[in-house]
Amino acid sequence: MLEFRKDEQEARNMARIIPFPKKISTQQVRKLQMVSDALDGIILEAITEKDMDPYEIAGLLAHRLGSLMKNFSQKEEIWDICQAVMKRQASLGKG
């Protein structure tokens, strides 16, 4: 298993999945930012305060995303989008 540095700044950077702009103009973006901030808080707390393994959290998030996606009518389209976003966020090459 790879070693993960658990200092707070690195955990904050890892948990900051979607960087939203400071000025938000639409209600939908505000709602998404609230959900994103809540998820970031949960992830950060799990890593820094509950000493949870980031790999286990990634697996848990993948499981929950799969459970959500099973109800979508256009699974292939959303999968392509999610895969591209994850590759870009993880710096895995072309996204």
Res 95: pLDDT: 44
Residue 60: is its pLDDT beyond 90?
yes
pLDDT tens, residue by residue, 7-53: 555 545 544 545 555 565 678 777 888 898 899 899 999 998 999 99
More confident residue, 17 or 65: 65
Instruction: Determine the angle formed by the axes of helices 27-48 and 8-15, rounding to 10 degrees.
Output: 140
Instruction: Give the pTM.
Output: 0.65
Nearest to 11 by CA among 72, 53, 70: 53
In whole numbers, what is the pLDDT of the chain averaged over residues? 78
- Distance between CA 3 and CA 70 in Å, rounded? 33
Nearest-Å Rg of the Cα atoms of the chain is 15
Q: Would you list the DSSP string of 35-58?
A: HHHHHHHHHHHHHHTS---HHHHH
- Distance between CA 58 and CA 20 in Å, rounded? 21
Helix, coil or strand: residue 8: helix
